[in-house]
A and B are shown apart, each in its own frame.
Chain A
Amino acid sequence: MKLFKVLLFVCSIALGLPAHAEKVTVAAAADLKFAMDEIVTSFKQANPADEVEVIYGSSGKFNTQIQQGAPYDLYFSADIAFPRALAKAGLAASEVTPYAFGRIVLWSATMDASQMTLESLLNDKITRIAIANPRHAPYGKRAEEALRAAGLWEKVEPKLVYGENIAHTAQFVQSGNAQVGIIALALAVNPELAGKGGYWLIPDKLHEPLEQGFIITKRADGSALAKRFAGYMGSKPARAVMTKYGFVLPGEAAGSE
C-alpha cells in the first residue's frame, strides 16, 4: 500500500511538471561540450522564460537518430556533411549553417604535450594514443588524415585506441590510460583539461578542414525558439564564446586554410 502511495506521488510529480511555453532540445557534437554550455547559459540569461536542453554525443549517432525521428530541434554537427545529408533528405527546416571550423591538438594529462610534435608519438614511452574512431567521428577522421600526412600512420597504428566520440577520447587521456590523445582544441582549452599537461596545435594543412554546421530539424519547423536560438549563434556573445574555445568562425576564416 505504501509502495502504491509512493508510486502515485511520483506519477503526480511527473505529470504535474509545469507546461513551459517553449522548449527546444539541441543535439550537439561532443566537441561543443564546454562552449555550448556557456552559450546556452548566456542565452538563458537573456531569455529567462525559454528552456534549452543540450545533449552531447557523436555527430554520426545524432545523424542516424534524426533520420529515425529523434526529438531534437537543432542539430550541431562536427562535420557539416551530416546536416547537409539530412537537408538533402528533407529532414531540415533551415539552411545548413556553417558555424565554426574545428582544430585538433595533441593533448596529454601526464606529459607536457606543448613540447611535442606528431613525431613525438613514436617515442617508446608513449604506448597508448587515443583518437576518436575515424570510421564515424569527424575529429577521428581528421586525426587519421594528419597522421597519414605526416607519414606516421603505419608506425603509430598499433598504439591507437579509439574513443566513441571526441569527449570519450579525451576521457581516455584524462584518466591516464592513454598517455596522449588527439582531441578537439575546444576541449583542450577548457580549464578542467588545460590545467594538466598542455597541448600542441596540429597544423591544419595536415588535414581537411573540420567544417561544422547546424540545422533546425524538420520537427522544429515553425518553432520560434529554435529560430531564435539559431540566430543567437551568430550574435556577438555567442561568437566570443566560440572564439574563446579555439573555434575559427566562418566570417573570419583566415586560419582555416
Chain B
Amino acid sequence: MHLSDSDLQAIWLTIRLASIVTLILLFVGTPIAWWLARTKAWWKGPIGAVVALPLVLPPSVLGFYLLLGMGPNGPVGHLTEALGIGLLPFTFWGLVVASVFYSLPFMVQPLQSAFESIGERPLEVAATLRASPLDAFFTVAVPLALPGFLSASILTFAHTVGEFGVVLMIGGNIPGETRVASVQIYDHVEALEYMQAHNLAAVMLVFSFAVLLTIYVWRPNPKRGV
C-alpha cells in the first residue's frame, strides 16, 4: 500500500485538526455539560436542544451559515477583520471554528450523562467536608466522570476526523491548510484515481474501526464507578 506525500499531508492535517478541536471542546464543553447536568433552570431544555443541533442539521446547513457568517459580510467576518485576524474561510483556523460547532454535542452529551450519573450525593458529602464547589468539581466530579471524559474525547476526535460536508463548503481545498483526508479521498475519486482513493480510504476505515472498538470493548460502566 502506498500513500503519496499529499495523502500523508492530509492525514497529518486531519490529526492536527481533530486534536486541537478536541482540546478546545474539553474546555468549552465541560462547563456546558456540567451546567446542563446540574441546572434546574427552565432554559436547560432550549440550551440542550441548541447543543444537539449539529447532530441533526445537515452539514450543508452548518457550512452555509458558517461561510456567510465568517465571510466579509457576515458578523463573525466583521469581528475577525476588526481584530486583525482576517477572514476565517479557507483557513485552518476556520476549520477549527467550524469543527468546534460541528462536534460540540459529541463532547457535551457523554459528559453530561457522566456528570448526571454521579448524582448529588458525592458533591454534598464533599461540601460537608468544606470543599468549595470548584474544589469538589475537580477532586470529586472529574475523577468520577473520567470514563465520560475519555469516551467524549474519543468520540469528538473521531467525529472531527469524519467531517466532510462542512469542510468542503468552507475549506476551499488548500493543500496543507484545509485539505483533510476525507476531502482528499473525494478528490481521488473525482479524478478517477481509485487506487489512491482505496489506500487512503482503507486507512480511514481501519482507524474508525479501531476507535470504535476501543470505546466498545473497554467501556467503563459509569454507574459502577460511583
Are B187 and A136 in contact, with the CB atoms below 8 A? yes
Are B172 and A130 in contact, with the CB atoms below 8 A? yes
The stretch that binds A, out of B46-54, B68-76, B206-214, is B68-76
Q: CB of B89 within 8 A of chain A?
A: yes
The interface size of chain B toward A, counting residues with CB under 8 Å, comes to: 20
Nearest A residue to B189 via CB reads: A64
User: Of residues 156 to 188 in B, which have CB atoms within 8 Å of A's CB atoms?
Assistant: 168, 170, 172-174, 187
Are B190 and A128 in contact, with the CB atoms below 8 A? no
Are B174 and A58 in contact, with the CB atoms below 8 A? no
Are A136 and B68 in contact, with the CB atoms below 8 A? no
Are B172 and A135 in contact, with the CB atoms below 8 A? no
Chain A positions within 8 Å of B217 at CB level: none
In the assembly, what is the distance between CA of A61 and CA of B86, in Å?
33
> Contact mask A229-240 → B, CB, 8 Å, 1/0?
000000000000
> Contact mask A52-64 → B, CB, 8 Å, 1/0?
0000001011011
* Shortest distance between the CB of B153 and any CB in chain A (Å): 31
Nearest B residue to A171 via CB reads: B67
Interface of B is mostly: loop
Q: CB of B191 within 8 A of chain A?
A: yes
Q: CB of B106 within 8 A of chain A?
A: no
The stretch that binds B, out of A19-27, A43-51, A70-78, A172-180, is A172-180
Q: CB of A133 within 8 A of chain B?
A: yes
In the assembly, what is the distance between CA of A164 and CA of B192, in Å?
14
Choose among A61, A63, A176 the residue with the greatest number of B CB atoms under 10 Å from its CB: A176
Are A136 and B191 in contact, with the CB atoms below 8 A? yes
Chain B positions within 8 Å of A61 at CB level: 190
Q: CB of A161 within 8 A of chain B?
A: yes
* Shortest distance between the CB of B177 and any CB in chain A (Å): 9
Number of A-B residue pairs with CB-CB distance less than 8 Å in the complex they form: 56
Are B71 and A133 in contact, with the CB atoms below 8 A? no
Q: CB of B215 within 8 A of chain A?
A: no
Q: CB of B92 within 8 A of chain A?
A: no
Are A176 and B73 in contact, with the CB atoms below 8 A? yes
Q: CB of B62 within 8 A of chain A?
A: no
The residue that B190 contacts in the complex, of A58, A175, A177, A178, with Cβ under 8 A, is A58
Chain B positions within 8 Å of A127 at CB level: 86
Nearest B residue to A160 via CB reads: B174
* Shortest distance between the CB of B53 and any CB in chain A (Å): 22
In the assembly, what is the distance between CA of A64 and CA of B68, in Å?
31
In the assembly, what is the distance between CA of A136 and CA of B193, in Å?
10
Nearest B residue to A63 via CB reads: B192
Are B68 and A133 in contact, with the CB atoms below 8 A? no
Are B173 and A64 in contact, with the CB atoms below 8 A? no
Chain B positions within 8 Å of A164 at CB level: 168, 173, 190
Q: CB of B90 within 8 A of chain A?
A: yes
Q: CB of B97 within 8 A of chain A?
A: no
* Shortest distance between the CB of A87 and any CB in chain B (Å): 16
Q: CB of B87 within 8 A of chain A?
A: yes
Q: B residues near A, CB below 8 A?
A: 67-68, 70-73, 86-87, 89-90, 168, 170, 172-174, 187, 189-192
Write 13 A-B pairs (CB below 8 A) sorted by A numbering. Answer: A58-B190, A63-B192, A64-B190, A130-B172, A133-B173, A136-B191, A136-B192, A161-B172, A161-B173, A164-B190, A175-B67, A176-B71, A177-B90
